[in-house]
């Protein structure tokens, strides 16, 4: 366990949901909602636990902004599933968000870390 999911401000996660989703979609040719939810939970060792119903509206917003592309596919068992793939605009957006995040995290660390004598 990376930590108790209650131990962070949920606004922090909400503000970064799009970056998390985009980062994972970018790693796959195409992926779908449930797989994204599982991967976030597994890779954060249970730290990030979404209310699952919030992921699909977030995916739709990414789609509206042209950052991902959604496509219906029929599985051999007859189940229909919506798959998401990254667009060029999404890749650029993600790269920018990662740059911003790294600068932010470095600056936070500089301020929060006790000054070295």
Partner 1 sequence: MPADVPSYLEEVRSHLHLDPGTATRVISELDSHFQDKVADLRGQGMDDARAVREAISSFGAPRDVARLMYEAYSRGTWTEAFISLQPHVLVASLFATHLWRQPPVLALTFVVIAAIALLGWRAACPVWTYSWAGYAFSPLLVLSYLCRGVPAEAIRSLSRGGNTGEAITWIVLTAALYGVTVFVLVGAVVRVSRRDWILVSVMLLPLAVLGIWALAVERDGGTFVGMLGRLPATHELWDRSMAWLCTGLGLTAAGFVRLRARLLKGVAVVLIGMVAGALLVSSLDDGMRLGRLVRVCLGLFVLLTSPLLFRPLIGRSAERPRTTPEAHAS
Task: Tell me which residues touch partner 1 (CB under 8 A).
Answer: 32-35, 38, 51-54, 56-58, 60-61, 64, 70-72, 74, 79-82
Q: How far is the CB of 116 from partner 1 (least distance, A)?
A: 44
Closest CB to partner 1 among 73 and 111? 73
Of 43, 100, 44, 55, give the one whose Cα is nearest residue 82: 55
Sheet containing 80-86: give its strands across. 31-32, 80-86, 68-74
Cβ nearer to partner 1, comparing 76 with 114 = 76
Residue 60 CB, nearest approach to partner 1 (Å):
4
- Sign of the dihedral through C-alpha 39, 42, 43, 47: positive
Q: Tell me how many degrees the CA angle 38-43-45 measures, rounded to the nearest 5.
A: 95
Q: Is the dihedral of CA 88, 29, 79, 55 positive or negative?
A: negative
Smallest gap from residue 82 Cβ to partner 1 (A): 5
Q: Which is nearer to partner 1, 51 or 113 (CB)?
A: 51
Please, what is the minimum distance in Å from the beta carbon of residue 57 to partner 1?
Answer: 4
Total residue length of the chain = 117
Nearer to partner 1, 47 or 56 (CB): 56
């Amino acid at each position: 366990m990376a930590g108790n999911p209650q131990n962070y401000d949920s606004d922090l996660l909400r503000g970064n949901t799009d970056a998390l989703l985009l980062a994972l979609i970018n790693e796959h040719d195409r992926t779908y909602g449930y797989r994204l939810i599982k991967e976030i939970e597994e890779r954060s060792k249970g730290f990030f636990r979404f209310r699952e119903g919030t992921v699909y509206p977030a995916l739709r917003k990414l789609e509206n902004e042209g950052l991902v592309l959604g496509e219906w596919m029929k599985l051999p068992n007859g189940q229909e599933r919506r798959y998401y793939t990254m667009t060029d605009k999404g890749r650029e957006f993600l790269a920018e968000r990662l740059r911003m995040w790294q600068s932010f995290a470095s600056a936070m660390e500089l301020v929060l870390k006790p000054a070295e004598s």
